[in-house]
A and B are shown apart, each in its own frame.
Chain A
Amino acid sequence: MADVTHLETRTLGGGESGFVTTKFEALLGWARKYSLFQYPFATACCGMEFFSTASPRYDIARFGAEAPRFSPRQSDVLWVVGTISQRQAPVLRRVYEQMTEPKWVIAFGTCASCGGFYDNYATVPGIDKIIPVDVFIPGCPPRPEAVLDGLMLLQDKIGRCDRTPETVKNTALPDGAEEALEKLYQIRMKP
């Protein structure tokens, strides 16, 4: 399923302008990944982080995922943002079924990914028990940077035509960043 070798794109020399060969799937994936219409299914505190990601400071529009569509029939990505209770599960399932193909699902935060610390009669232990999920973003709630990582991971997967579920990895700080942060902290903490 995740075989990417058939999606190879090559630039060949030839004449003054040259030309590019590609596969139709690869072209389609490239086109799709920068025009994602989103359906935010925000149920809990993670919603705040989602708004923060969408607002100008983090600006999700930079990634070609600007337009939220509050109708599942017009959207490509279902963001499940927050805890899903057993009573809500049929609704979420129905929203997913109403979306038109191609469609992707992002589980935003620990509760949507696995139920979080809720382990009881009321909460669904992860939305992948109900609907297929493409990207899991861990965090309680995840920082906007992690959300953008998740979005970029999804775009990468769309470009590769890869539908296997993936989790956002923890990014390591670049060299020297910790010392710089420590210095900044010392300056800020000075009376």
Chain B
Amino acid sequence: MSKLILERLKAQFGDDILEVSSFRGDDVALVKPARWVDVARFVHDDPRCDCTYFVDLSANDRCDPRTDDLDMDDRFEVYVIAYSVAKKHRVRIKTRLPGDEPRLATVIPVWSGANWMEREVFDMFGVHFEGHPDQRRILTYDEFKGHPLRKDYPANRAQPLVEYREGTFNKLGPFLQDEGMPLNRSAAPDERN
């Protein structure tokens, strides 16, 4: 049903829409980063699209650190999901950013609800949103180094705010047969597999 939006987008932006796809009611448009805000503004303002309701903005890291170059051109995929309450249709707009200093214009002027979502994407992936009024971390803390949802961030690296206590932590009880999991952890998380 909302293929209408994709057709409208293609007619309006032409080659700046790199790819469109529809699968079981999910309609997706991949756009060039330079036209990110224009597309968002069009989807919001155009009376036949009318997507005034902002659902979500998030990202994913498309690289595999074992094989891919971390600075690859299309590493981070940022997407926004918009919905029209009146017309009951939904669209997802995606764009891809390079791994080296990913930057994207903010869509807060279009949907003000994007503020905290963009802060989350900045916190988790390190994507900078140009024009964001308050670009701080939102889930982790100021002392945190790096961005935890990047694929090259070690999965179990913690950055404690409170220094861990010294000493041995012997929580190994006499467990029954099915309770094999010891209640303590090895001293150095990085040495585990």
Contact = CB atoms under 8 A, between A and B. Distances in A.
Given A87-B140, A114-B183, A124 B175 contact: no
A179 interface: no
A89 B161 contact: yes
A114 B185 contact: yes
Nearest to A123: B158
A23 interface: no
Contact of A89 (B153, B160, B183): B160
A167 B173 contact: yes
Contacts of A119: 155-156, 189
B169 interface: yes
B148 interface: yes
Chain B interface helix/strand/loop/mixed: loop
A136 B140 contact: no
A19 interface: no
Contacts of A128: 165, 169, 171
A90 interface: yes
B158 to A, nearest CB: 6
A120 B158 contact: yes
Chain A interface helix/strand/loop/mixed: loop
Contacts of A130: 162, 164-165
Interface residues of A, number: 28
Interface residues of B, number: 27
Contact of B161 (A87, A136, A138, A165): A87
A129 B179 CA distance: 23
Nearest to A138: B183
Given A114-B185, A120-B148, A169 B174 contact: yes
A87 B175 CA distance: 32
A150 interface: no
B86 to A, nearest CB: 39
Interface in B117-174: 140-141, 144, 148, 153, 155-162, 164-165, 169-171, 173-174
Contacts, number: 80
A86 B160 contact: yes
A170 B181 CA distance: 14
Contacts of A87: 140-141, 161
B171 A114 contact: yes
A152 to B, nearest CB: 16
B161 A86 contact: yes
B117 to A, nearest CB: 19
A72 interface: no
B184 interface: yes
Nearest to B185: A125
B176 interface: yes
Interface in A87-137: 87, 89-90, 93, 110, 113-115, 119-126, 128-132, 136
A121 B161 contact: no
Contact of B179 (A113, A124, A170): A170
Interface in A56-104: 86-87, 89-90, 93
A169 B183 contact: no
B176 A170 contact: yes
A87 B164 CA distance: 14
14 contacts: A90-B161, A114-B184, A114-B185, A119-B155, A121-B159, A123-B158, A125-B158, A125-B189, A126-B185, A128-B171, A131-B165, A167-B171, A167-B183, A170-B175
